[in-house]
Amino acid sequence: MASSKLSDPPPRPYDPLPSYPPQPHQQPQYIIVLPQYYRTPRQFLRRPTRRYLYCAAVFILLSAALFFLWPSDPELSIARLKLRHLKVHSFPKIAIDVTLDVTAKIRNKDFYSVGFRYVVISIGYRGKQLGHVISDYGRIKARASSYVNATLELTDVSIFSDLIPLIEDLARGSITFDTVTQIGGELGLVLFDIPIKGKVVCEIVVDTRNETISHQNCYPE
């Protein structure tokens, strides 16, 4: 008859306690029972989770820095419009004289100063440009505003193609002009030249009787 060999019992994480108390002449034995330690899935995932959190925090900080440091276009608006002179000539040709004072406000929203190469202010009648004026180079401090004053003076500008609408406007006592103010330049940032620009359009209604602006409406584009 073949003998079968029993397999050894699995190893225990600790020795069992004795089933009998120690004798008086024997030295007491101290047994320390240690529980078996198992690593939970949360502990296995703790290190990768921390890496993901660190990466996410670095990404958020870089995105915030890029948002605040990336240059934005200056905010352009018209602070003042004043008509100084308006005259319509009927001989020897239909022409017009206009003198207009314009004050443009340029606001820098960035956290560093920016420079602009030009500010162009033009005036038109019924979609056709009559003339323009160009300002010089300027610089605006960080989170600050600057004002550009310009005088647009036009003399003996022919508008023969719009003669009939002009006669109708004169009979009504008001002429509607449109002004366009534009700013442009480049911002040198590290190794790149980033273009900056801004534009605002105004519609002005001039009272031909007293040569004043009776209504104006400005909006950015």
Q: Which residue range(s) make up the domain with 49?
A: 38-69
Q: Is residue 15 part of a domain?
A: no
Domain assignment present for residue 110? The answer is yes
CA atoms within 13 A on the CB side of 96: 22
Domain termination residue (choose one: 69, 89, 123): 69
Q: Is the pLDDT of residue 69 over 80?
A: no
**Range 50-76 average pLDDT:** 78
Q: Report the pLDDT value the prediction gives residue 196, as an integer from 0 to 100.
A: 81
Residues 48 and 156 placed together within one structural domain of the fold:
no
Average pLDDT, the chain: 80
pTM confidence score: 0.68
81: domain CATH number? 2.60.40.10
Q: What is the dihedral of CA 143, 144, 149, 152, to 10 degrees?
A: 20
Q: Which of 123, 95, 114, 99 is nearest to 182 (CA)?
A: 123
- Last-in-domain residue among 69, 84, 111: 69
Residues above pLDDT 70, as percent of the chain: 73
pLDDT (tens digit, 9 = 90+) per residue, 99-122? 999 999 999 888 778 888 889 999
Residue 108 sits in the same domain as residue 199: yes
Number of compact structural domains in the chain: 2
pLDDT at 81 over 90: yes
Q: Is 129 inside any structural domain?
A: yes
Of the candidates 102, 120, 114, the one whose C-alpha atom is nearest the C-alpha of residue 73 is 114
Query: Within a domain: residue 4?
Result: no
Contact (CB, 8 A) for 206 and 86:
yes
